[in-house]
Amino acid sequence: MCGIAGLIHRGKSSKVGHELQGMLQALKHRGEDSTGYALYGDTDGKNFIMRFKVGENVGEGSTSVAEDVSVYDERKKIVDSYLSEMGAKIIKEDRILPYSLRYEIEYNKKDLLEFSQKIESIPGVEILSMGKSLEVIKDLGNAKMVCERYNLDKLVGTHAIGHARMATESGVDIKSAHPFWGYPFSDVSVVHNGQLTNYWNNRRALENKGMRFMSECDSELIAVYLAEKMRDGASLEEGMKESLSGLDGVFTYFVATKDSLGMAKDTMAAKPLVLYESDDLVAMGSEEIAIRSILPQEIDTYDPFDGEVKVWQI
């Protein structure tokens, strides 16, 4: 049992970090092994924001090992040198935690595949997100703890999705935490509640097509599955509709891009989702109390039906 939440403001920006923190904290009883945010902030759109980690925060059942900070320092130096080699210029650098960094970089090539492969060829380094608006922040603990640790409260943007995780299929660590970046597509992120039963079959097929998996978490499959569809020319909504038959199991998931947010629910409708829609705000969560954390007044909400896919634009 995990909790997912999302919101999209239409026609304005808001403190989406603060709002999503409230929504996810209301769902903490659904899991607080780790919490993740995919925030779409207001930027000038010129530079990429790269969130990445050079080590793990190792929790229960993780296949990773705890390492010394000196190892992180060494990896960071290699990342910096690789960026320089690829012609990427670091405009701003924040080392939020010893293992977690945020770089604002100037990089002019559109294809991020080669870039990402180069950076992630460094052992222990993973790009959590790469985009001109998207920032994926995820770590162990509940929403409030992660929000405070990464100072997300003041982040202003248009939309966001997030995940409160109860680890079941894989260990407690950052690499298995949601959201997952839709590698190698800029600004695509995914959160999921459920279990996918054809994970390995799909993973093998996608890896044979050159797609990359960083964890053994079944939810990562959704991000990779959609990325592959989009790579082949499908729109986000088309990819999501195909996923209803391509993915087996029970799921409700959200996908966000630079200017849109979508939801999909499997044909068994086995995982909960409550939606609120108005002209200027769409909010959704595994339980209504998530929406109530930002809209305490009486509102009309509803459950989407089985096999339903919806996409909203900012």
Residues belonging to the active site = 2
Report the residue number, 124 or 249, with the smaller CB distance to another protein: 249
User: Which member of 274, 284, 294, 309 binds another protein (CB under 8 A)?
Assistant: 274
- CA triple 171-175-176, angle to 5 deg: 45
Minimum distance between the CB of residue 193 and another protein, rounded to whole angstroms? 13
Please work out the total of residues on this chain that contact another protein, with binding judged by CB under 8 A. 21
- If one asks whether residue 272 binds another protein (CB under 8 A), the answer comes out as yes
Q: Could you tell me the end-to-end alpha-carbon distance of the chain, in angstroms, rounded to an integer?
A: 29
- Mark residues 99-138: x for contact with another protein by CB under 8 A, - for none: ----------------------------------------
Of 29, 51, 32, give the one whose Cα is nearest residue 186.
51
Give one DSSP letter per residue of 126-155, joined into a string.
EEEEEESSEEEEEEES-HHHHHHHHT-TT-
* Residue 69: Cβ-neighbour burial (10 angstroms; 0-12, 13-18, 19+): exposed
- If one asks whether residue 46 binds another protein (CB under 8 A), the answer comes out as no
Report the residue number, 120 or 287, with the smaller CB distance to another protein: 287
Minimum distance between the CB of residue 279 and another protein, rounded to whole angstroms? 19
Strands of the 189-196 sheet, one edge to the other: 180-181, 189-196, 249-256, 260-265, 309-313
Report the residue number, 30 or 102, with the smaller CB distance to another protein: 30
- If one asks whether residue 245 binds another protein (CB under 8 A), the answer comes out as no
- If one asks whether residue 69 binds another protein (CB under 8 A), the answer comes out as no
- CA-to-CA distance for 144 and 137, rounded, in angstroms? 13
- If one asks whether residue 287 binds another protein (CB under 8 A), the answer comes out as yes
- If one asks whether residue 13 binds another protein (CB under 8 A), the answer comes out as no
User: Which member of 217, 264, 291, 309 binds another protein (CB under 8 A)?
Assistant: 291
Beta bridge partners of residue 97, listed in sequence order: 100
- If one asks whether residue 268 binds another protein (CB under 8 A), the answer comes out as yes
Of 313, 133, 184, give the one whose Cα is nearest residue 237.
313
Copy the structure tokens of residue 192.
């999921």
Minimum distance between the CB of residue 218 and another protein, rounded to whole angstroms? 22
- CA-to-CA distance for 224 and 188, rounded, in angstroms? 10
- If one asks whether residue 298 binds another protein (CB under 8 A), the answer comes out as yes
Tell how strand 34-41 and strand 48-53 pair up.
Answer: unpaired
User: Which member of 65, 70, 204, 305 binds another protein (CB under 8 A)?
Assistant: 305
Minimum distance between the CB of residue 74 and another protein, rounded to whole angstroms? 48
Interface with another protein by CB under 8 A: which residues?
A: 267-270, 272, 274, 287-289, 291-292, 296, 298-303, 305-307
